[in-house]
Amino acid sequence: MATDSATHQFPLPAILEYPSSTPPELITQGAEGRLYKSTYLLPSIPCALKYRPPKPWRHPVLDARLTRHRILSEARNLAKCRREGVPVPNVYAVDESAGWLMMEWIAGDPVRVAINEWLQRRRDDERAQGRTGDAVVEGKGEADADLVALLRRIGAAVGRMHKVGIVHGDLTTSNMMLKPWERGKEPANGHNVESDGLLEGEIVIIDFGLASQSTSEEDRAVDLYVLERAFASTHPRAEKLFTAILEDAYREAFKQAPVVLKKLEDVRMRGRKRSMLG
């Protein structure tokens, strides 16, 4: 099994060495950390374990301090979001000295994957009708209703996170999951029973590894800008629509949003200047 070899390539954190009903599965291996899928307490409860292994190239005392700090800061920011009603994984357990954080496993696909599938299906449909299939997604009509609704949910989720005083630091459509609706949570009128369901689900923001507590308009605007750039590069056909809907939903989320959106224009301007120079 691929996951087996992946798992055994690196030493597991001690906690995952203890027996479990299914072996931990290595999901991603980044520069700073690894993410495993495993189980918490019972075989029926999946969890995500983020592990930051010791870095041999760093001074051990400094390394330990940095790791503790990062794990704790991620755990605190997740917990704060959760308490304040921002949809994020719940924190199950933390061992900052051992360098890990265990949290709720979020079912479903990253938003990036869902949008790409949706765009692909749209392209196939257009081609079937004899068109080129690279038309800009304008957000008009029934055909785009699901995407518009999803983008509104993204804007609302980001707005809520900013409202409670957290900036994410690495907002992308890969760091948002589209979690299948739980009973009673689906919006009463916001979803379309006729649709293919590709874009149905609750937005859950993940990866708070670079998050911090801030209420600065500049920090918030940079968060939005990073998301906007990430979106434009992964889903260029829907870029314009994204900006319009996101801003609209974000504006409704909290009082200072208009000021942040004003700031976002400055940030975009700086971004353009920088890319012209570079």
Ligand X SMILES: Nc1ncnc2c1ncn2[C@@H]1O[C@H](COP(=O)(O)OP(=O)(O)OP(=O)(O)O)[C@@H](O)[C@H]1O
The reply to whether 66 sits near ligand X by the rule CB under 6 A is no
Q: Which of 200, 207, 217, 223 binds ligand X (CB under 6 A)?
A: 207
Q: Does 255 bind another protein (CB under 8 A)?
A: no
Instruction: Return d(Cα 121, Cα 133) in angstroms, integer.
Output: 10
Buried b (16+ CB within 10 A) or exposed e, 31-43: eebbbbebbbeee
Given another protein, ligand X, none, residue 1, with its beta carbon under 5 to 8 Å by kind, binds none
Report in angstroms how near the CB of residue 48 gets to another protein at its nearest: 13
Phi/psi for 204 (5° steps) reads -125, 120
In the list 6, 35, 64, 93, the residue contacting another protein (rule: CB under 8 A) is: 93
Instruction: Choose the one of ligand X, another protein, none that binds residue 105, judging by a C-beta under 5 to 8 angstroms depending on kind.
Output: ligand X
b/e map of 211-242 (b: 16 or more CB within 10 Å)?
beebeebebbbbbbbbbbebbeebbebbbebb
- Give whichever of 88 and 264 is closer to another protein, judged by the CB atom: 88
110 makes contact, choosing from ligand X, another protein, none, with CB < 5 to 8 Å by partner type, with ligand X
Nearer to ligand X, 35 or 244 (CB): 35
Smallest separation, CB 144 to another protein (Å): 29
User: In the complex, which residue's CB is closest to ligand X?
Assistant: 209
| Alpha helix ranges (H) inside 84-192 | 111-128, 145-163
Verify binding: residue 221, ligand X, rule CB under 6 A.
Answer: no
Residue 8 CB burial class (10 angstroms; 0-12, 13-18, ≥19): exposed
**Residue 28 in contact with ligand X, rule: CB under 6 A:** yes
Any contact of residue 105 with ligand X (CB under 6 A)? yes
Contact partner, 212, from another protein, ligand X, none, Cβ < 5-8 Å per class: none
Give the residue among 137, 116, 115 at the shortest CA–CA distance from 126.
137
* 49 lies in the site for ligand X, by CB under 6 A: no
Q: Would you state the structure tokens that stand for residue 118, as one six-digit string?
A: 């949706």
Q: H-helix or E-strand containing 268?
A: helix 257-277
User: How many positions of this chain bind another protein (CB under 8 A)?
Assistant: 36
Instruction: Return the SS3 of 2.
Output: helix
For residues 100 and 13, is the Cβ–Cβ distance under 8 A?
yes
103, 208 Cβ separation under 8 angstroms: no
| 25 vs 84, beta carbon nearer another protein | 84
Shortest spacing between CB 207 and ligand X, in angstroms? 3
Q: Tell me the catalytic residues.
A: 170
- The partner in contact with residue 228, picked from ligand X, another protein, none with C-beta cut-offs of 5 to 8 angstroms by kind, is none
Q: Which residues bind ligand X (CB under 6 A)?
A: 27-28, 30, 32-33, 35, 48, 50, 89, 103-106, 110, 174-175, 206-207, 209
